[in-house]
Structure 1
Amino acid sequence: MSGGLTVLLTGALATVQDRGRPGHSDLGVGVSGAADRPALALANRLVGNGAGAAGIEVTAGGLVCRAEERLVVAVTGATGPVLVRRPSGSLRPAGLARPEVLAVGDELRVGVPDRGLRSYVAVRGGVDVAPVLGSRSTDLLAGLGPAPLRPGDVLPVGSDVAGPVLASDGAPVSAPDDGEVTLYAVPGPRADWFGDDALRAVFGRPWEVTSASNRVGMRLQGSELVRASRRVGAELPSEGVARGAIQVPASGQPLVFLADHPVTGGYPVVAVLRDRDVDVAAQLRPGQRIRLRAQPAPMF
């Protein structure tokens, strides 16, 4: 273990993330982990890391890190400018979704994305901060794991290597387009709390992602979802909620739970996103429009 990366700038938010800490909901602790799980997994594969290696999740760009030793890194997720600044001051473009070698003193610069919201930086060997409950992930809601990164932080690089660096000229990028995005969901456990008009609105009308969204959840704005008359004023005891659950608070505007969601909630869940669509949702930008489409519940 050694001090491999010094954080110089963080942008809006940069955190350490891995696959999360499953199995602790009985303690009131959620899974957390990377908001876009396939993007982090791809970055780790590109640099030859183990699947559980920790990397850096960058929200809306702005991360600058300096290599304190020779490192191999990869940036995936949102698309945008990625540059390497040499100690001489010269700049060179770095590839997206492909391995890049940083010499001592090189600065990796992750710019503001032009598509998608969250970028992922993997370094060969993994970011080796101290684990909490078996994970190095920052859980902003529970306050577990390392604090959000700040300028001056030094991130040790570990030895979580599973194979060679991939000889890639650029893997496919999965960040969604800026246009309207379709997400699929199944009816939720409390869909019967809403009237027919509300259910038609959930799956028939467009929704806009608001700037109040974060790692806990993506807040949507659109038609007010009105409860069925028999449920007006009713109280729902707190019950378990999952990643991808679409909860409807008193405002009638849906909240889609993401990586740092609570383990219980007291508002009705009208629908639940398909698992792979939760990762797409984590890449949606404020102001972007989505449509929810109903997917029939699986038969067992």
Structure 2
Amino acid sequence: MVEVIRVHTKLALCAFHCRQGRDGRNKKCDGQCGALHLCRTFLLKSNEACHFGRKGKCMFGHDFFSQHNLHLLRENNLDGLNERELRALFQLPLSRCKTTTPQVCKYYNNDRQKCTNRHCTSLHICSQFILQEQHKNCKKNHSFQDDQVRKTLDLFEIGGKDWRKNEVFEIISRFNGLEQSADGNQEMYSDYSDNESNYSERSSFSNYSGSRQIIRHLDHDRSQSTCDGCKSLKQELDALKLEMTQKVMSLERDFALLKSEVQSLKVNKSAQETSAKKCPISGITFN
């Protein structure tokens, strides 16, 4: 009997450090994440593969052995490996984490909201195909040979000769949260950049806990006007509307008070300036 030992690491790439903010800079992690602070392209491919790395200006970092990273490598007994060996280790399927795995583009899979990012690095592929489910009459992409998909997989160094097809399916579904829920709906994540053009199209309910219910019930049969889920949802929305109205009224009161205080300060300042220009003996005001 032959035993196969597969080498891998649980050390991950920090998702927060690799997230680009709206100001164009990477977000600052407090260093307590227990994950590497590195450029993803540098980690998975090479220094030359990163456009900014070639110019020495990549904000995500190209140093395996920085103080933060070296501490983590030592904790995981990886400090004896060189850059080439570390890269080979993190490229392995079992060493992958969410940050080193491409995301299925949720905008591409949304019939009402198409992906408008020309440089999208999320997979434009059918989520049901990734789950290996039936997808009859579906017009979305169902092939890893699609140009956009191949380019994205190559960016993440996935799908080469050392990869089996089932490994590609498994890793993408695992790190995209595409496991089936009880009601048959899947969760999907977008790419890790906060600076995508699609983000401007998000609704004001993006942080509301019931947003997924809203989307789900918008699609149900219009004839089901007595749907219990819709009744419950309406109650939640009414409560939310009342709460938001109260907050707006409170803000308007605070703004009125602040405006009154500012006006009072202006009047006092004007009076002080007039008094300073007035002669205390003759009472004459000078210009």
- The TM-score normalised by the length of structure 1 is 0.22
Tell me which protein shows more helix as a share of its residues: 2
- The TM-score normalised by the length of structure 2 is 0.22
Ranked by relative contact order (alpha carbons within 8 Å, sequence separation 6 or more), the top structure is 1
Tell me which protein shows more strand as a share of its residues: 1
Structure exhibiting the larger radius of gyration computed from Cα positions: 2
